Amino acid sequence: MKILRLLSAFMSFFFCLSCTGADKNEIKASEILKILKKGGHIQMVDKIILDDLDFTQAGEPFILNGNQLQCEISSNIFFSNCIFMGKVTTNGVYKDKLPVQTRFGNNLVFSACDFRGAANFDQTTVFGMVNFSKSVFRESASFNNAAVWAKDSYFSEIVAEKDFSMIYAAFAGNFHCLSAQFAGNASFQETSFRGKLTFNQSVFKERAGFDLISVYGGAFFHHTKFEKFADFSSSRFLHTADFVNTVFGGKGSFEKASFLNAVRFDGVDTQSELNLNDIITFKN
């Protein structure tokens, strides 16, 4: 009987520990904001963020210009294998008056995270590394007008189940997006990539908009698959552009695109004719 009582007590104690561990896996967005307001770094693994996370609430914004406010976060942001049940945003309206955006002075990492709500990183400025590799966006994801000054930005193996938008953005370094899956429309119009641009082995199931982009380093689309319309019209490639074994399942347009260095279309698989009207090419 004594052994049974001890065993029962041990099981009760173990059950309580298990409950405590489960509770610790869940966290409210307000707790994250509280850490940031104190200047602390965020390093969270295997957490479930229960509600909307608005980074503009991490501090008192200052006036950026006459009609724009900015919230500055100097801390490192690191999330790995976390689930965000609500929306994640870096821009909004301060006290229902002026628009406010977020500036990250250090690294911004969401590695292998699951975004259940919309992810809105529009107007974001980042001076550290950006890493969203292996993350899943179950609702719309947008990085419009984002500015990243890091040497490398990582979006490899992401899964975007809805529309993905990164228009009018600027990346000072290399942009890595290998083996990514875009189920909805993917828009990169007028985005500037100062380093290398890599989309090898990525799949675009709907419209892929790369029109008016500027790529200053090498551009690589090896084994990339565009199932519907791929638009590269009026794009500018200032270095090597490789479309090797690229699959164009639908229409593709390079009309008025500029290739100021070598361009390769080796092994391209096309279901319909590519529009190469008025392209500009300079081959070494």
What DSSP line would sit under 152-170, residue for residue? Answer: EEE-TT-EESS-EE-TT-E
50-42-58 Cα angle (round to 5): 70
Instruction: Report d(CA 51, CA 87) in Å as an integer.
Output: 7
Let me know: does 168 contact 143? Beta carbons within 8 Å.
no
- Other CB atoms within a 10 A radius of the CB of residue 179 amount to 16
**What is the structure's pLDDT at 63?**
76
* pLDDT score, position 225: 98
Q: What is the pLDDT of residue 283?
A: 61
Helix, strand, coil shares, percent, the chain, to 5: 15, 40, 50
State residue 65's pLDDT score.
Answer: 72
> What is the pLDDT at residue 22?
41
Whole-structure pTM value? 0.88
- Measured in degrees and rounded to the nearest 5, phi and psi for residue 43 equal -140, 95
**61: helix, strand or coil:** coil
pLDDT tens digit at each of 284 positions of the chain:
444 343 344 343 333 333 333 444 999 999 999 999 999 999 999 999 999 999 999 988 887 776 788 899 999 999 999 999 999 999 988 776 788 999 999 999 999 999 999 999 999 999 999 999 999 999 999 999 999 999 999 999 999 999 999 999 999 999 999 999 999 999 999 999 999 999 999 999 999 999 999 999 999 999 999 999 999 999 999 999 999 999 999 999 999 999 999 999 999 999 888 999 999 987 64
Buried b (16+ CB within 10 A) or exposed e, 219-229: bbbbbbbbbeb
Q: Where are the domains of the chain?
A: 23-140, 151-284
Rounded Cα–Cα distance for residues 143 and 234 (Å): 21
